[in-house]
């Protein structure tokens, strides 16, 4: 049974239990075990624990490079890490959630909304409008989240962003 396996692991002598006691007509009681002390360490304001080195490395990359991508499997905290770094850079951040942007027109609308302008794909040059808005802000950070499916569209825009808004940083 599970109790027998547990006793085999925690009791010095499982025939004479000292920690996991049988309480007649109630069940079992765990006694004589000290609770583990909580781990002491710096906890970031955003709840990231143990990611100090990752945050520092990503901050340095964003400072040194105009384009930085964060990659990894789903659920490892890429978005939270990127958001934490974005708030610590001191740059004006334009956060763009691309989760629902399923076509180039939707990507343009999402990015346009993030930088504070209205963009439609039927506009003559939506990328130009976006980069012009970014250029007026000087050093800023364009943070793309959930943009894996929009990479072809974003990849085609990146040279224009770099050329027309050279002080802007992109974190993808």
pLDDT of residue 89: 85
SS3 of 162, please? helix
pLDDT of residue 40: 45
pLDDT of residue 43: 45
From CA 55, how far away is CA 126, in angstroms rounded? 33
Greatest Cα pair distance in the chain? 83
Distance from CA of residue 14 to its chain's centroid? 46
Give residue-wise pLDDT tens across range 76-96.
Answer: 888 888 888 888 888 889 999
From CA 112, how far away is CA 51, in angstroms rounded? 31
Beta partners for 21? 29
From CA 31, how far away is CA 97, in angstroms rounded? 50
Q: Where are the beta strands (DSSP E) in 5-109?
A: 20-23, 27-30, 67-68, 92-97
Give backbone dihedrals phi and psi of 79, rounded to 5 degrees, phi first. Answer: -65, -45
Angle between helices 52-64 and 78-88 (to 10 degrees): 60
Give whole-number Cα distances, 14 to 4, 35, 104, in Å: 8, 21, 66
3-state per-residue secondary structure call for 77-105:
CHHHHHHHHHHHCCCEEEEEECCCCCCHH
For the chain, 172 residues long, give each residue's pLDDT as a single digit of tens: 777 888 888 887 767 888 777 877 777 777 775 554 444 444 444 567 778 888 889 899 998 999 998 888 888 888 888 888 888 888 889 999 888 888 888 888 888 888 888 765 555 678 888 888 888 888 899 999 988 889 999 999 999 999 999 899 998 8
pLDDT of residue 38: 45
């Amino acid at each position: 049974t599970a109790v027998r396996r547990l006793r085999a692991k925690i009791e010095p002598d499982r025939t004479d239990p000292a920690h996991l006691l049988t309480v007649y007509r109630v069940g079992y009681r765990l006694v004589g075990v000290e609770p583990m002390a909580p781990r002491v360490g710096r906890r970031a304001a955003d709840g990231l624990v143990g990611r100090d080195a990752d945050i520092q490395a990503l901050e340095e990359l964003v400072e040194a490079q105009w384009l930085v991508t964060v990659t990894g499997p789903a659920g490892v905290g890429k978005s939270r890490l990127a958001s934490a770094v974005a708030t610590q850079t001191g740059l004006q951040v334009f956060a763009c959630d691309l989760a629902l942007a399923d076509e180039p027109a939707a990507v343009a609308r999402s990015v346009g909304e993030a930088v504070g302008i209205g963009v439609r794909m039927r506009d003559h040059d939506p990328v130009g409008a976006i980069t012009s808005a970014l250029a007026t802000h000087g050093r800023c950070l364009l943070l793309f989240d959930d943009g894996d499916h929009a990479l072809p569209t974003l990849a085609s825009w990146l040279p224009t962003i770099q050329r027309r808004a050279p002080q802007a940083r992109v974190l993808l």
